[in-house]
Structure 1
């Protein structure tokens, strides 16, 4: 059997003395951690080497994992000079996950296996409902329909990640404020969705999910300290420091829409949208371009950027003014965070090379140290991929707990 990648072996941790149940939990935890981390088939001998456990212990635990469906037995491979090795793999479809990326106008949904590989996805108009509970109930209904389309039984949905365009208290699953969603203040998003979907839900800011997605599958791979700056209907930033999300004391880290862009703006009242978003968001750019009135942003943005490329003075002025403001904000984020990379995403950066070029120029004039500024590799789906990472991490943790407790109960 051809191997996709070599097994990455982990040194065994020392196990202290304790009761038999505690040891079984530790042993199963160690084996599951190795099993779930493997992208390719492996053998019992490799599990023994990776965990430091004895052959009888590995045999017993693997038999349990195969019977429970977490591990799939692939049969024997070719001989390497002795007994033919028996191969197995992590059953990524033992359970499933889902993502809700809630936006002001559109909501993206996805269903995936436990490796985060998508099985189905959809884009729906965000329901217009003044009551957040009614809106979320409608979205949950759409997700249930997508689960049926993917032939995923509801009881095997282990976790859902839900992104919201606003400040999120992840510990309480609360959207504290979402200015671009009417009536969204102190919304118990996790509680509502868990009631609707009957599974675990993790709620996170959508731009935080975007930076996780770019770090996992996109432009920020290999950059453990980086930022994602989103400019569209709203404005926000997601920040990774040493590979971990930085949320801040009040879960407001990255809410750069509130950034004051100069002393001349100190006395202005910008409400919940904030100074930066008021000056540089999609609505502000629409106000600088007469062809934007009442049209789909994708259409007038393409027209604006094409006009700027062709030298239209009004288009150039609109793009340059917006780029200067965004460039100043990007340079400010770089000065505070000191990232190795900043990723630009959102509607304003889709096929907008003139804008991106001018933003880079402003950043390089201001920033003390060189900083790479790149466009999102995942585009509008960056939060979706970040949500898949969050959901699979949560699901795997719950699966480990479930299998571990089942094993111990059976043994006792």
Structure 2
């Protein structure tokens, strides 16, 4: 290990369609080489296929990896043991019961330790550490994509319980209109709502957003109803938790012009006084935040590890 490498963590972010690798410099809170490296990944593939994609992605880093590797990926996953718990979630079923820690420790360049972290936690912590939530003591964050990820922070510590915090800090476990929240707010839910409204085969969310911007009333209504509902669900929680900022990331946050207004309206309707004080912002580092946050978690951001509460 070269001088200075003690401050470097190699990171993998794992999504349903891709993996991203980067080297994170803890001292500068930035990516070494100024960029990350992406590889296609099939979340429906075999465990061997998924592992091969991760190893290929890691191999694209320009230098041999630091001894510490941090991996950010969605649940359900046993983050302490490094074993998948996926079943019926639409991706990574092949990793159910698979010991990813053993496999990656044997395969990643220079790996001596491999830690695993929830991707929504990593995203929100990354935005607190080096993005939109920097300087805020009390932070709530959500990710919008195949589902709704969430994380609640106070003074850089991830909280799982307390006033305004849903069970285990996971908003996706909440319900709206007697159904799981993700039946209303998710990629599949937006597409399904558009298909019902138009009687046509639904395009992807990006195309629905484009149509909304060009005057398609059904498309605009799909966004308005979904994110007003999300605001209504989050509203009582945030009124109790009292964050000073709500950071929103994930692929659907790319349609911020269609998300922000109904989300704010739902929050304000739930509690017009307290929720009006909350700054609502898209991520400043939408691509880098999960990588930075995973590195931060792997090193407890330079603080005693006890600052990060366990899952």
TM-score interval (norm. to shorter):
0.7 to 0.9
Match of 2:9 among 90, 93, 97: 97
Deviation of 1:219 (Å) = 0.9
Following superposition, the deviation at residue 127 of structure 1 comes to 3.1
* Aligned twin of 1:201: 114
Task: Report the equivalent of 2:218.
Answer: 314
Q: Does 1:377 align with 2:268?
A: no
Shift in Å at residue 388 of structure 1?
3.0
* Partner residue in 2 for 1:361: 265
Alignment of 1:56-135 (within 5 A): 70=3, 92-93=4-5, 96-115=8-27, 116-118=29-31, 119=33, 120-128=35-43, 130-135=45-50
User: Which residue in 2 is equivalent to 1:170?
Assistant: 79
Match of 1:341 in 2: 245
CA distance in 2, matches of 1:226, 1:395: 19
Deviation at 1:293, TM superposition (A): 4.6
Alignment match of 1:287 (pick from 192, 200, 212): 192
The answer for unaligned runs of 5 or more in structure 2 is: 305-311
- Residues 247, 254 of structure 1: 8 Å contact kept: yes
Unmatched 5+ stretches in structure 1: 1-67, 71-91, 269-274, 398-412
Q: Is contact 1:213–1:389 with CA below 8 Å preserved after alignment?
A: yes
- 1:233 touches 1:281 (CA, 8 Å); kept in 2? yes
TM-score normalised to the size of structure 2? Answer: 0.80
SS at match of 1:325: helix
Counterparts of 2:267 and 2:172 in 1: how far apart (Å)?
Answer: 18
Please list the CA deviations of residues 47-92 of structure 1 after superposition, one character each: whole Å capped at 9, or x if unmatched: xxxxxxxxxxxxxxxxxxxxx964xxxxxxxxxxxxxxxxxxxxx3
Q: How many residues align?
A: 288
Distance change (3 Å), C-alpha of 1:340 and 1:94? closer
Cα distance in 1 for partners of 2:233, 2:190 equals: 16
- Residues 83 and 98 in structure 2, CA contact (< 8 A), matched pair in contact too: yes
1:383, CA displacement in angstroms?
1.0
Residues 1:294 and 1:381: Cα distance change in structure 2 (over 3 Å): farther
Q: CA deviation at 1:393?
A: 5.0
Query: Which structure's relative contact order is higher, taking Cα pairs within 8 Å and 6+ residues apart?
Result: 2
Q: What's the offset of the Cα at 1:139?
A: 0.8
Distance 1:131 1:96 in 2: 31
Whole-angstrom CA distance in 2 between matches of 1:336 and 1:360: 16
1:127 is paired with a residue whose SS is: coil
Compared with structure 1, are the counterparts of its residues 182 and 388 closer, same or farther at alpha carbon in structure 2 (3 Å cutoff)?
Answer: closer
Q: Which has the larger radius of gyration?
A: 1
Q: Distance in 2 between matches of 1:227 and 1:242?
A: 12
Q: Any conservation in 2 of the 1:167–1:252 contact (CA below 8 Å)?
A: no
Helix, strand or coil for the counterpart of 2:102? helix
**Alpha-carbon displacement from aligned partner over 1:79-124 (angstroms, at most 9, x marks no partner):** xxxxxxxxxxxxx346642111111122222123453432241122
C-alpha displacement of 1:390: 2.9
Structure 1 residue corresponding to 2:91, chosen from 173, 176, 181: 181
Does the Cα contact within 8 Å between 2:12 and 2:19 map onto a contact in 1? yes
C-alpha spacing 1:192/1:336, structure 2 compared with 1 (3 Å): farther
Q: Secondary structure at the match of 2:92?
A: coil
- Superposition pairs for residues 252-331 of structure 1, below 5 Å? 253-262=168-177, 265=178, 275-290=180-195, 293=201, 295=203, 297-298=205-206, 300-307=207-214, 310=215, 312-331=216-235
- Give the RMSD, CA atoms, in angstroms: 3.1
Q: Report the CA distance shift for 1:357/1:205 in structure 2 as closer, same or farther (over 3 A).
A: same
Matched residue, 1:214 = 127
**2:41–2:53 contact (8 Å) kept in structure 1:** no
Q: How many angstroms does 1:277 deviate by?
A: 0.8
CA distance, structure 1, for counterparts of residue 107 and residue 301 of structure 2: 18
